[in-house]
């Protein structure tokens, strides 16, 4: 019986393969007939089996219109679309094409086969159900209630599939805003979805949902973000806006294929209330240097640090201080993350040829007083920025280096001439962000002897002319965790900095092409304290803790 069963299975498999081969032959024959018919009619032919259907194109016609006219839009680029058709003599064809023309669409028609048409029409199922209630996603005012529901969703297991994708999105977004999260991470695993919020720069495990809700949630996110629902094997990026009373949020979405499905990151961008200059965290001589330099009518001020170190926020605070009726300010950003009233903000688009360098050249012809260049990463941008600073403009920009001293060799390595850089560069700022201790649960922390010895050594090397004073108490603090900070121990972030002006002595080092070590030695000689020293001074004041300072400053 075993052998008989095996033989039967073999025969069944052989029959299935034969049926599949016959079906393929029939399909190819049908495509050949469609191609022949197109040639007879003098029309182009297209094999729809060879390409994925573009969801944006599909949305141009409703399913009812497509069936009535025996049409199928399958490719779209802005207002240009390609449409497959079965019968050029269909009586509804002319009216549908006329309607598309009124909507300013330019269309090319192709003959397609009936089986390809039927197969492609199945794509309407993917966009049919979730099209309803697209505007219902919102951020609620009842933040504590959303947090409770988030925890409840984790506890109900597979029953979560009864919760609509819209409600789930509302809960996720409301909870994230309530917890001051900048990003929502959704990572599918074998039997659950991991939900993590990035709070004050650190990912926090927030919840785990049963994966029964995965497909409906991903489809909802894709539709809101205007992404292709049927595309799951390639990365996609999109965005959508959530409007609430008194506050608008732009949600930037990134999808990436992973082992168990598409991983999602949603970045939450609210209407920025730009920090006041005094709130950045600059202190002592660093505060005086930066305050003096940003008051000047021209020069190049650079902020350096890795992604997420607060460079843009620092530059926005400079812009806020400079933003007065008699001052024209233009920014070049990629992307424009926050809207600033009274300031012209330009979105860089390198694909279309609008680079930082080309945009800056054009901006200078607009007679600005202050320019902000989102990032300097090539010779052209660096040279134009330096030339602008020399010709009477104040230029703010960012650079990716580990510390302040590394900015000068970096610009020289990009090709900027020392004779241009030395007089153009006014000031260099390096920064990181540390989490602030929650004031409601802050308590004194006991430091062991070896760590205390290391801290004392770092503080002992602070330059005498830096203006820094070491508190006599010598006490450090930590956050115990409470309901006000969601039991994390931290609430908010503040910058730690190192700053030096480009004075005459520093200019001589630029002319000489000096190393990072030599530049740092001169900066310290002129009173610069390092980021780790600035952080430890803030820890002694109870603003942050020692562990946080070492976490962000040690490479």
Is the pLDDT score of 515 beyond 90? yes
Q: Are residues 282 and 246 in the same domain?
A: no
Q: What is the pLDDT of residues 110-134, one digit of tens each?
A: 999 999 999 888 888 765 443 433 4
Q: Rounded to an integer, what distance in angstroms lies between the CA atom of residue 295 and that of residue 328?
A: 15
Q: Token pair of 474, please?
A: 């010598």
Tokens of residue 462, six digits: 């602070």
Do 127 and 141 have their domain in common?
A: no
Task: Give a three-class secondary structure readout of 138-173.
Answer: CCCCCHHHHHHHHHHHHHCHHHHHHCCHHHHHHHHH
Alpha carbon distances (Å) from 510 to 259, 312, 318, 408, 503: 50, 26, 26, 7, 11
Interval 92-111 mean pLDDT: 88
45: DSSP letter: B
| Residue 540 forms part of a structural domain | no
**In the chain, what percentage of residues exceed pLDDT 90?**
52
Domain that holds residue 170: 137-270
Strands of the 329-333 sheet, one edge to the other: 344-347, 329-333, 370-373, 394-399, 299-304, 425-437, 490-501
Q: Out of 131, 159, 180, pick the residue that ends a domain.
A: 131
Q: Is residue 463 part of a domain?
A: no
* Structure token digits, residue 164: 């609509």
Residues 479-494, mean pLDDT to the nearest whole number:
90
Are residues 172 and 41 both part of a single domain? no
410 in the same domain as 304: yes
Q: What is the pLDDT of residue 135?
A: 46
Q: Indicate the number of domains in the chain.
A: 3
Determine phi and psi for 110, rounding to 5 degrees: -135, 145
147 and 44 both lie in a single domain: no
Average pLDDT over residues 438-465: 92
Averaged pLDDT, 10-37: 73
In a domain, 471, yes or no: no
Q: Which of 131, 150, 175 is the last residue of a domain?
A: 131
User: 306 and 251: one domain?
Assistant: no
Residue pair 131/179 in contact (Cβ under 8 Å)? The answer is: no
Residue 326 host element (H or E): none
Same domain, 159 and 230: yes
Whether residue 305 is contained in a domain is answered as: yes
Q: Are residues 395 and 324 in the same domain?
A: yes
Return the CATH number at 336. Answer: 3.40.50.300
Whether the predicted pLDDT of 18 surpasses 70: no
Q: Mean pLDDT score of the chain, rounded to an integer?
A: 87
Which tens digits make up the pLDDT trace of 378-433? 999 999 999 999 999 999 999 999 999 999 999 999 999 999 999 999 999 999 99
Q: Which two tokens stand for residue 151?
A: 């925890």
pLDDT for position 119: 87
Of 229, 248, 270, the last residue of a domain is: 270
Distant-in-sequence contacts of 230-238, Cβ < 8 A, 24+ apart: 230/52, 230/53, 230/55, 230/123, 230/126, 231/52, 231/55, 232/257, 232/261, 232/262, 233/257
Domain match, 22 and 119 both: yes
Structure confidence at residue 178 (pLDDT): 87
Q: Are residue 56 and residue 179 in the same domain, yes or no? A: no
The answer, yes or no, to whether residue 3 has pLDDT greater than 50, is no
pTM above 0.85, yes or no: no
Q: Give residue-wise pLDDT tens across range 240-298.
A: 888 776 677 889 999 999 988 999 999 998 765 567 889 899 999 999 999 999 999 99
Average pLDDT over residues 86-96: 90
Q: What is the pLDDT of residue 26?
A: 77
Domain CATH number, residue 223: 3.30.450.90
| Cross-sheet strand order for the sheet of 202-210 | 202-210, 192-199, 181-188, 261-270, 247-258, 236-244
Residue 108: give its domain's CATH number. Answer: 3.30.300.160
Both 204 and 224 in one domain: the answer is: yes
């Amino acid at each position: 019986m075993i052998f008989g069963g095996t033989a039967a299975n073999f025969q069944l498999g052989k029959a299935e393969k034969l049926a599949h081969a016959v079906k393929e032959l029939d399909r190819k024959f049908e495509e050949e007939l469609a191609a022949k018919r197109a040639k007879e009619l003098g029309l182009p032919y297209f094999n729809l089996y060879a390409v994925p259907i573009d969801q944006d194109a599909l949305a141009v016609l409703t399913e009812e219109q497509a069936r009535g006219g025996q049409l199928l839009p399958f490719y779209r680029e802005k207002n240009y679309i390609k449409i497959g058709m079965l019968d050029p003599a269909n009586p509804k064809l002319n009216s549908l094409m006329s309607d598309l023309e009124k909507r300013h669409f330019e269309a090319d028609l192709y003959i397609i086969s009936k089986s390809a048409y039927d197969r492609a029409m199945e794509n309407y199922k993917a966009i049919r159900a979730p099209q309803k209630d697209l505007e219902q996603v919102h951020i609620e005012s009842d933040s504590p209630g959303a947090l409770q529901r988030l925890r409840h969703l984790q506890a109900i297991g597979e029953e979560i599939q009864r919760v609509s994708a819209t409600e789930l999105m509302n809960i996720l977004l409301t909870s994230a805003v309530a917890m001051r999260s900048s990003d929502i991470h959704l990572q599918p695993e074998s039997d659950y979805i991991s939900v993590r919020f990035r709070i004050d720069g650190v990912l926090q495990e927030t919840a785990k949902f049963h994966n029964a809700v995965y497909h409906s949630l991903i489809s909802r996110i894709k539709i809101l973000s205007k992404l292709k629902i049927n595309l799951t094997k390639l990365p996609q990026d999109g965005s959508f806006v959530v409007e609430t009373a008194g506050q608008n949020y732009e949600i930037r979405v990134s999808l990436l294929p992973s082992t168990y499905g598409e991983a999602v990151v949603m970045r939450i961008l609210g209407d920025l209330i730009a920090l006041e200059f005094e709130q950045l965290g600059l202190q002592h001589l660093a505060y005086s240097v930066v305050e003096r330099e940003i008051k000047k009518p021209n020069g190049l001020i650079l902020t350096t640090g890795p992604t997420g170190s607060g460079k843009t926020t620092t530059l926005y605070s400079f812009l806020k201080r400079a933003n007065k009726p008699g001052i024209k300010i233009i920014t070049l950003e990629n992307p424009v993350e926050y809207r600033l009233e009274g300031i012209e903000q330009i979105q860089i688009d390198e694909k279309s040829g609008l680079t930082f360098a080309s945009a800056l050249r054009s901006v200078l012809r607009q007679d600005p007083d202050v320019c902000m260049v989102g990032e300097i990463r090539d010779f052209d941008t660096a040279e134009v920025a330096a030339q602008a600073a020399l010709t009477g403009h104040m230029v703010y920009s960012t650079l990716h280096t580990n510390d302040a001293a590394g900015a000068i060799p970096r610009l020289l390595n990009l090709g900027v001439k020392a004779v241009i850089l030395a007089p153009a560069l006014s000031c260099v700022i390096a920064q990181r962000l540390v989490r602030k201790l929650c004031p409601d649960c802050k308590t004194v922390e006991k430091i062991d002897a070896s760590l205390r010895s290391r801290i004392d050594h770092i503080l002992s090397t602070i330059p005498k002319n830096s203006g820094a004073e070491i508190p006599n108490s010598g006490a450090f603090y930590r956050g115990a965790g409470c309901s006000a900070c969601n039991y994390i121990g931290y609430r908010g972030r503040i910058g730690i900095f190192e700053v030096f002006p480009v004075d005459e002595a520093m200019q001589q080092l630029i002319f000489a092409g000096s190393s990072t070590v030599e530049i740092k030695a001169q900066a310290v000689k002129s009173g610069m304290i390092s980021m780790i020293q600035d952080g430890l001074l803030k820890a002694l004041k109870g603003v942050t803790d020692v562990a946080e300072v070492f976490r962000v400053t040690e490479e």
